[in-house]
Homo-oligomer: A and B are copies of this chain.
Amino acid sequence: MKRRVEDLAVFGGAPLFAPALPTGQLDTPDVEDYIGHLRHIYRSRRLSNGGELVQQLEAALAEFHQVRHCIAVANAALGIAMLLQVLGEGRSGEVIMSALAYRGVPHLAKWAGFSPHFVDIDPELHTLDPQAVRAAISDATRCILSLPSFFSPGHVDDLCRVAESRNIPIFFDSVDSVACTFRGRPTGGFGDAEVFSLHATKLVNGFEGGYITTNDSELAAILVRQRDFNQPGADPGVAMRTPHVLGLNGKLNELHAAMALLSLARVEGLIERNKARYDAYCAELADIPGITVLPYPDQGRERHNFRMVVIRVDPEWPLTRDETVALLNKEGAVVRAYYSPPVHRLHPWSVEVVTPPMPAAERISKGHLHLPAGERVSLSNIHELAGLLEFVSARGDDIARSMRGARL
């Protein structure tokens, strides 16, 4: 425990956590189970390209999400680029997307031949504001890319209605929504498609990888060809009917499918442990003034994966959000600012893309941070972290003065 301000790592004290506490899920199924799969891959002599385990994984994920088709891809970013390119039909134009998004997303729009068109969010759900989307639609709009927040799929029905009425494709970057519901329906089947991630930091761990879910059989067939350089397969006429589709190597390897299958089988346990960590944070931080754990709403009616723990830093808190991030990182809590800055503030979009004011995205991006979460964080780690935050709260004026002084 820290007793004096000088004990803080930011002032040269020993870090509270070593090894550091990450924010990712980092599920690790038993290594022996993984080795079993690996021996099978070796024996089967099928090291890549649509092997047996990828097919098993696709079937398991389609069932898990209750959708007709699952297309495994090398990573979620490629899945997003693929969907944008296919759904936008290879024509230049705009993709409507949230200003509160991962910094890579507008790059993917450009790869697919589009300009990003950023719109503001609903400040309650942190997801696309349907009113703002409606106002942003023009003849240049080729696609709507909706980004669910970690605690809500957003205004799914409203957005799909807007998209349908204007005959614009819509899909969901659902990397944080595995095993969640909207009005009781599981994610995976909304809009034209949804994209999920199998990166090690996500709920289901394939070491790396991603997948697309859809109920549209024609779209699924196009994506299967697209991820393998748009090979026509047994249908040589297909390239004529879909001349705009650009192929690439988006295939998921057997090594990742093996891990993802093991992790998927553990998903109920992962969610249970996530919930226990989240509940512990809520209890431990409840009485600390100026920080608030963002709630997972409607827990009676909706299903959540409780993967992330995000806190809001309010004016009563003695440090700024960025000072808090810096202080905690020094202590070995690898906390991260939450969607900051908003993507429309990043170069080159801040220069290339004209945007209206986005007060909600600006505000949310300034005041939140991710706390350590996932399988490498124990309940006693959470207790220790809460103790640290209590200490910061109690000695806040001294700490703020020293941190600001140190920077002068």
Residue A348 at the B interface, CB < 8 A? yes
In the complex where A42-B31, A48-B199, A48-B208 touch, is A347 in contact with B248 (Cβ < 8 A)? no
A46 nearest CB neighbor, chain B only: B200
B77–A45 touching, CB < 8 Å = no
A237 nearest CB neighbor, chain B only: B347
B38–A34 touching, CB < 8 Å = yes
Could you tell me the distance between the alpha carbons of A229 and B35 in the complex, rounded to whole angstroms? 31
Residue A195 at the B interface, CB < 8 A? no
Nearest-neighbour CB distance to chain B for A176, whole angstroms, equals: 16
Nearest-neighbour CB distance to chain B for A30, whole angstroms, equals: 10
Residue A68 at the B interface, CB < 8 A? no
Residue A184 at the B interface, CB < 8 A? no
B348–A243 touching, CB < 8 Å = yes
B248–A104 touching, CB < 8 Å = yes
A348–B207 touching, CB < 8 Å = no
On chain B, the residues within 8 Å of A352 by CB distance are 243
Could you tell me the distance between the alpha carbons of A240 and B348 in the complex, rounded to whole angstroms? 7
Which of A19, A77, A253: most chain B CB closer than 10 A? A253
Nearest-neighbour CB distance to chain B for A340, whole angstroms, equals: 13
On chain B, the residues within 8 Å of A255 by CB distance are 207-208, 253, 255-256
Which of A230, A254, A348: most chain B CB closer than 10 A? A348
Could you tell me the distance between the alpha carbons of A102 and B104 in the complex, rounded to whole angstroms? 29
Interface string of A91-118 (1 = CB under 8 A from B): 0000000000011100110111100000
On chain B, the residues within 8 Å of A254 by CB distance are 207
In the complex where A19-B45, A38-B35, A47-B205 touch, is A230 in contact with B107 (Cβ < 8 A)? yes
Nearest-neighbour CB distance to chain B for A212, whole angstroms, equals: 15
In the complex where A107-B246, A229-B103, A255-B255 touch, is A239 in contact with B348 (Cβ < 8 A)? yes
Could you tell me the distance between the alpha carbons of A76 and B104 in the complex, rounded to whole angstroms? 21
A247–B107 touching, CB < 8 Å = yes
B248–A81 touching, CB < 8 Å = yes
Q: Which A44-99 residues sit within 8 Å CB-CB of chain B?
A: 45, 47-49, 74-78, 81, 85
Could you tell me the distance between the alpha carbons of A253 and B255 in the complex, rounded to whole angstroms? 10
In the complex where A246-B110, A376-B45 touch, is A347 in contact with B104 (Cβ < 8 A)? no
Residue A1 at the B interface, CB < 8 A? no
Which of A45, A85, A254: most chain B CB closer than 10 A? A45
Q: Jot down 8 A-B pairs with beta carbons below 8 A, ordered by A.
A: A28-B42, A38-B38, A48-B199, A75-B249, A78-B248, A103-B247, A113-B113, A239-B348
